[in-house]
Chains A and B, each alone.
Chain A
Amino acid sequence: MAEIPFPLPDLGEGLIEATVLEWLVAEGEQVERNQPLVEVETTKSALELPSPQSGKVLKVHGAPGDVIKVGEPLIVFEVPDDTAGIVGTVPSDEAPKRRRVRLNANLDED
């Protein structure tokens, strides 16, 4: 099994941090790609972050009310080794017409 950490993504608009409102998944839970993971609030709006992949939630960072900076750890997934390599690819059936906030694997920080 491989551990894949995801940081809080760049939310655009010059935002540098977000406050956790509510986790919608729990540690140990199996989640599907695009399943809502967490509600966060910035100085501009509240938003829901969808899961970038399917996998088992190993760890969530931040309780409701905690502030997480962009780039800091948000969630860690556990996935079978043979699927770890495709993490972070954008599914081809999704061609969003406009920019949407998405989590990306933190591949630079290994």
Chain B
Amino acid sequence: MTMATGRHAGASAQHTVEGTDPGLNVQTFEPDTAAALPPVLLIHGFASSVALNWEQSGWISALLAAGRRVIAVDLPGHGLSAAPEDVDSYSPSRIRADLLQIATDAGARPLAAGHPDSGLDLIGYSLGSRLAWEFGATQPALVRRLVLGGPSGRDPLAEFDLAAAQRFLADGTPIEDESTAALVTMALASPGSDMYALLSLVEAIKEEPFDAAEAVPRQPILIAAGEKDERAAGIEALQSLVPQAQVVLIPGRNHVNAVTARAFKQAAIDFLSQ
């Protein structure tokens, strides 16, 4: 088989998508009164979970109140999902394939004229925004609108110093790289986090780093980030690729605490109700 050339060509690997159960925790939520709009798929961030990123933060109740059906998935090694030992289970392309299968199983259907509840809306946060970007770009027949929370034009996980993190976990050697140290601190603080799984995810992401220009979503997009979000640097780079995107900056918020902001939720709900 001839592989296409490109930045991923050097890291080509055989992935076994078919026939293996990724063991992902999927939760669907039905509103009391359903709006004539597509379901919303929620994709959480690194070292987070459905519970942290969407439930305790009030997103699910806000979306249900707006009449939205919600499909929420814990990423592999996160929340209540399985934490497989093979690195391939964590590759972004595998995760996107699983998300597509999950959304389809949950009833999402390709966009059809005259059917306002067809298609699928996506809300991602941080790593979830990267996955949503790629999912939207590669599934234009399914994905209607995208909300990208706390996205990064660069890829902080691809730049993660894996060796330094492993040394730190083995014997406490301090991590020099500031971003790596902050991500490890965040991962350790995350309730029930499986550090082995999180490092497998980092390893898989290093094989498939985010390249925003490689596939660009053409759907309407809302980009939202805390005004003080140190990880959302490079939003401008994303914006230049998607001139149709609206951008909302949340005053006073950073990467962690922008998640709960009412202004973010309201902007997303308004945007997705169009």
Contacts and interface: CB of A to CB of B under 8 A. Distances in A.
Which label, helix, strand, loop or mixed, suits the secondary structure of the B interface? loop
B56 A45 contact: yes
A74 to B, nearest CB: 16
Q: Which secondary structure dominates chain A's binding surface?
A: loop
A47 B114 CA distance: 38
Interface in B50-70: 51-52, 55-58, 61-62
Nearest to A48: B58
A36 interface: yes
Contacts of B61: 34, 36, 50
Interface centre among A12, A64, A98 (most CB of B within 10 A): A98
Interface string B27-64: 00000000000000000000010011001111001100
B162 interface: no
Given A48-B57, A101-B56, A43 B257 contact: no
Contact of A45 (B52, B62, B261): B52
B56 A47 contact: yes
Contacts of B262: 22, 24, 36, 39
B263 to A, nearest CB: 9
Q: Which of A36, A46, A101 has the most CB of B within 10 A?
A: A46
Interface residues of A, number: 20
B260 A13 contact: no
B51 A48 contact: no
B189 interface: yes
B57 A46 contact: yes
Interface residues of B, number: 20
A50 to B, nearest CB: 7
Contact of A43 (B57, B189, B260): B189
Given A41-B256, A43-B189, A48-B260, A36 B58 contact: yes
Contacts of B55: 98, 100
A41 B56 CA distance: 11
Interface in A11-53: 12-13, 21-22, 24, 34, 36, 39, 41, 43-48, 50
A27 to B, nearest CB: 18
A21 B48 CA distance: 19
A47 B57 contact: yes
Nearest to B191: A13
A41 B260 CA distance: 9
B259 interface: yes
B58 to A, nearest CB: 3
Interface of A: 12-13, 21-22, 24, 34, 36, 39, 41, 43-48, 50, 64, 98, 100-101
| In the complex, the 8 A-B pairs of residues with the closest C-beta atoms, listed nearest first | A48-B58, A47-B56, A46-B260, A46-B257, A39-B260, A41-B257, A44-B189, A45-B52
Given A39-B257, A41-B260, 8 more contacts: A21-B257, A36-B61, A36-B62, A39-B58, A41-B257, A45-B259, A47-B52, A48-B58
